[in-house]
Amino acid sequence: MSPMTLLQLHKQRHYLMLFIVFFAFLKANGQESIAPVRYNPVVKNASATNSRAKFYRTTALALPFFEDFTNPGPYPDSNKWMDNEVYVNNTMCIQPIARGVATFDLLNNIGLPYDTLNNFTSISADSLTSKPIDLSAHVGSDSIYLSFFYQPGGYGFYPDSTDSLSLYLHTSNNDWIKVWSVNGTKVQAFRQVMIAINDTGYLNANFQFRFINIGANRFSGSTWNVDYIRLAANRNRNDTAVNDIAYTTDPSYMLNDYTSMPYRQYLANPAKERAANMTDTIRNNYATSQAVPYSYTAREVISNTLLSSGGASTLTIPAYTQQQITFPTYTNAVPIAAINDKVVFENKFYLQSPPSEPKANDTIIRDQIFDNYLAYDDGTAEQAYYLNLFPSAPGMLAIEYHLNQPDTLRGLAIYFNRQVPVATYKTINLFAFNKLQGINGAFNNDTAYFDRYYVNAGYADTINHFYNYRFSKPVPLPAGTFYVGAFLPAFSGSDSLYFGLDRNRIGGNHAYFNVLGSWGPSVINGAIMIRPLLGQYFTGTGVHTVQRVSKWSVSPNPASNVLYVDIKANENISYLISDIQGRILLTGSLNTEHHVDISSLHTGMYFLQITDNGAGQAVQKFIKE
């Protein structure tokens, strides 16, 4: 046997062993994974109706300056801030000082990544710049302090040690001076920072301060939350008391498990669907215990019908702690003209705090929506969920739902998260099962519907940010349990397709997956954002059905200089090669022998995507030696 043959045999054994080890690891540990979001449709949708021009102001602000981000968002209050790059929300944070935070991430002011090509290059990302503040009448002895709270990670991914959050101050010389910075670390509670503003260079008529985060996309992203910013005179370094009583988390839904369902399904068994209580959380930021009066009202929004109101209750909350409040859910209902009508219950929680406190965080509202879909999620994705699949092996993801009376399944609404390389070429099949083999005692899969058409993943900028897929025919379903989801075919490029993951979900995720031929329960916390659409006809999002590329493969893999594409097609086949950072490196058309010259590529992993006659796209991974 020649030395070259021995070397080739050694490589084949080496790669075979790697494959076996990876397969065993996948089977034992790595079938499910999470990733950061690469897209914020809430911000993207808001950007269409917001003009940056309104963020400029000629009159300077005066002390005191205060911001706790209780405005509706998703942008900062234009009366206080110059830019609109941070995301104002109440879902990315864990135990905030008061409801609402500013989230710094790697997505720009239209919800897309600042850098779509270089995952490992650190960039200056979000900025939060105050309006000019007139400090010209102040002197250093006025003891002006700027304070704020920050939290790495929250419900996003914690920033790496090379990432940072920094604070800059604007001087009379038009310079920006960095006065504070912190590197990325593990998820932790909010921490307060105190900054003295006593240098004469800051005491001018156009003082400003600016937060900036620096980070790289990598595989974990970089997220920071900032809350409760205060700038005032006559403070000192020990003036850390917030002295505010505020709601922190969003109220719970009045439903027991679902976040939304059709009203007809609710009325079929309200005692089962209705939670025993509605809950929320109040935080006492005083240094002493406080007696807090609180109450609530509920009304049906469309008809403006009063549903319920809670008598004032009082809760004594110890210093610097938060406590949960509860109200029993009400049994009132409203008549509807048609079974498919939308109904909205507005549940408003409010408390009575001392007059000197900020009032905006004393009230919080949760709309309970009854519409033609079932959901466990709240409509926002803090992370992404995906299955670890071999490109040559299929996978399935199913979400369990239940009906209280027979209904008609019309399609699915799916929230996809963007990823690098872009996932719009990835194809899936949609299904509905009455039973899953091995789950809840079922002996076999019982298929109610299986969409034989391959459809692309998509990103919707509609009001609810879901991509709506309409089934080719209505699917009648009986009362009871059913499952909906996506089949990820082999050779479809859909290994590691990102689905939205709502991390604020309380309760079981009702999710099951099938990677190696059998169903198993998901162990990922949160709600995977796949919703069944019920009842009336609806128009799907865009054009979904795609012509699938014939089964194809690449060889050799790993390859040195030439890659051969084995596909049953002879003309009009184009290719695109990108790296793991999404950068497009090579493009062209396949020659008659279907050879691709890869000699110019460096050693590493790459993605080959092909298009057959302009229709149907697919992707495969290969290694360049």
pLDDT computed for residue 191 by the predictor = 95
Would you give the DSSP letter of residue 274? Answer: B
Mean pLDDT, range 158-165, rounded to an integer: 89
Nearest to 542 by CA among 442, 424, 622: 424
pTM for this structure? Answer: 0.78
Q: What is the mean pLDDT of the chain?
A: 84
Cis peptide before 3 (omega within 30 of 0): no
pLDDT computed for residue 506 by the predictor = 84
Retrieve residue 249's tokens: 């988390």
| pLDDT digit string, tens, across residues 343-397 | 999 999 999 888 778 888 999 999 999 999 999 999 988 889 999 887 778 899 9
What is the per-residue DSSP string for 48-64? TT--GGGG--SSPB-S-
Cis peptide before 132 (omega within 30 of 0): no
Retrieve residue 609's tokens: 């995507």
The answer to whether residues 433 and 447 touch, using CB atoms and an 8 Å cutoff, is yes
Mean pLDDT, range 250-260, rounded to an integer: 95
Nearest to 410 by CA among 480, 342, 477: 477
The answer to whether residues 625 and 611 touch, using CB atoms and an 8 Å cutoff, is no
Return the minimum-mean-pLDDT range out of 172-176, 466-470, 541-545.
541-545
Retrieve residue 474's tokens: 């209505």
Mean pLDDT, range 315-344, rounded to an integer: 90
The answer to whether residues 511 and 397 touch, using CB atoms and an 8 Å cutoff, is yes
Contacts of 97 (CB under 8 A, 6+ apart): 68, 149, 190, 227, 228, 242, 244, 246, 248, 283, 285
Long-range contacts formed by 560-564: CB under 8 A, 24+ apart: 560/599, 560/624, 560/625, 561/597, 561/598, 561/599, 562/595, 562/596, 562/597, 562/598, 562/599, 563/595, 563/596, 563/598, 563/608, 563/622, 564/593, 564/594, 564/595, 564/596
In this predicted structure, the answer to whether residue 245 has a pLDDT above a threshold of 50 is: yes
Mean pLDDT, range 282-311, rounded to an integer: 91
9: enclosing H helix or E strand: helix 3-28
If DSSP codes are grouped into helix, strand and coil, which group holds residue 4?
helix
Question: What is the chain's Cα-based Rg?
Answer: 28
pLDDT computed for residue 98 by the predictor = 93
Give dist(CA 230, CA 522) in Å, integer: 43
Return the minimum-mean-pLDDT range out of 38-42, 82-86, 606-610.
38-42
Contacts of 214 (CB under 8 A, 6+ apart): 122, 123, 124, 125, 163, 164, 166
If DSSP codes are grouped into helix, strand and coil, which group holds residue 34?
strand
Give dist(CA 15, CA 240) in Å, integer: 59
Q: For tokens 């045999």, name the residue.
A: 9
pLDDT band, residue 143 (cuts 50/70/90) = very high
The answer to whether residues 94 and 45 touch, using CB atoms and an 8 Å cutoff, is no
What is the per-residue DSSP string for 435-469? E-TTSTT-SS-EEEEE--SEEE-----STT-PEEE
Give dist(CA 430, CA 469) in Å, integer: 9
Sort 265 into a burial class: Cβ within 10 Å, 0-12 / 13-18 / 19+. buried
pLDDT computed for residue 6 by the predictor = 42
Give dist(CA 89, CA 76) in Å, integer: 10
In this predicted structure, the answer to whether residue 10 has a pLDDT above a threshold of 60 is: no
| pLDDT digit string, tens, across residues 183-230 | 988 878 899 999 999 999 999 999 999 999 998 766 556 899 999 999
Return the minimum-mean-pLDDT range out of 57-66, 160-169, 338-347.
57-66
Q: For tokens 């609180």, name the residue.
A: 294
C-alpha 6: how far from its chain's center?
A: 50
Instruction: Using alpha carbons, list the distances in angstroms from residue 413 to 182, 410, 464, 469, 494.
Output: 40, 10, 10, 6, 18
pLDDT computed for residue 403 by the predictor = 98
pLDDT computed for residue 119 by the predictor = 59
Give dist(CA 557, CA 555) in Å, integer: 5
Q: For tokens 């089934």, name the residue.
A: 471
C-alpha 337: how far from its chain's center?
A: 36
Of the two residues 395 and 538, the one the predictor is more confident about is 395
What is the per-residue DSSP string for 530-549? EEEEESS----SS--EEPPP
In this predicted structure, the answer to whether residue 616 has a pLDDT above a threshold of 70 is: no
Would you give the DSSP letter of residue 559? Answer: B
Give dist(CA 61, CA 31) in Å, integer: 54
Kindly list the strands in the beta sheet with 321-328, ordered across the sheet, starting from the edge strand earlier in the chain: 245-247, 277-284, 321-328
